[in-house]
């Protein structure tokens, strides 16, 4: 997970060093902001407000966020109205990329996710989620049928939705190994 850091200039270097040492990625273009108390809070971003005297608590919180997706089982999605919504990972059938946007699909809706597929791949439980091609990650608990397809590919029919997903030729071996086929 990447964060923008907003703080006073005199503390920026120390905070940058502390956060990056803990594996927290800083990116000015992130939709998530770590903001020092007293600084202007940006709109249309999710902000974590902190006081410099409590920096240890902030670092602990951010370190724990790395595992929150796996342990907590929720992710933040963005609706068509640009509202934020918490979605249980267990309800997500698959994730996909389209025109530089990432979406998750549940049986009821499609929501935009403010992450990259590679970030999701790193953060999701690798016992349940599998990258099946360059633009999709599937929740294997929603696979209903696996059909051998053309050119050594596989077609996945999913529970609750009509969409079929294709396992690309270069992902078939890993997919079969994952499912012990």
pLDDT by position in tens, the chain (length 181): 678 999 999 999 999 888 888 777 888 888 889 999 999 999 888 889 999 898 888 888 877 665 555 545 888 888 888 888 889 999 999 999 999 999 999 999 999 998 899 889 888 888 889 999 999 999 999 999 999 988 889 999 999 999 999 999 999 998 988 888 7
Report the candidate in 55, 119, 53, 128 with the shortest Cα–Cα distance to residue 88. Answer: 128
Do the Cβ atoms of 139 and 128 come closer than 8 Å? Answer: yes
CA–CA–CA angle 102, 107, 111 (5° rounding): 25
CATH superfamily of 73-178: LytTr DNA-binding domain (2.40.50.1020)
pTM of the model: 0.63
Domains of the chain, by residue range, sit at: 2-69, 73-178
């Amino acid at each position: 997970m990447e964060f923008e850091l907003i703080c006073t200039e005199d503390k920026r270097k120390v905070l940058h060093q502390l956060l990056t040492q803990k594996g927290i990625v800083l990116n000015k273009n992130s939709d998530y902001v770590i903001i020092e108390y007293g600084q202007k809070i940006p709109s249309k971003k999710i902000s974590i407000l902190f006081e410099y005297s409590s920096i240890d608590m902030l670092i602990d919180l951010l370190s724990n966020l790395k595992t929150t997706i796996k342990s907590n089982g929720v992710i933040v999605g963005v609706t068509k109205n640009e509202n934020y919504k918490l979605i249980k990972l267990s309800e997500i059938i698959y994730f996909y990329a389209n025109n530089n946007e990432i979406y998750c699909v549940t049986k009821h809706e499609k929501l935009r996710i403010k992450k990259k597929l590679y970030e999701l791949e790193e953060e999701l439980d690798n016992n349940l989620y599998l990258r099946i091609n360059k633009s999709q990650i599937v929740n294997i608990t929603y696979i209903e049928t696996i059909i051998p397809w053309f050119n050594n590919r596989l077609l996945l029919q999913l529970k609750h939705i009509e969409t079929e997903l294709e396992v690309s030729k270069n992902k078939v071996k890993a997919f079969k190994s994952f499912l012990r086929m």
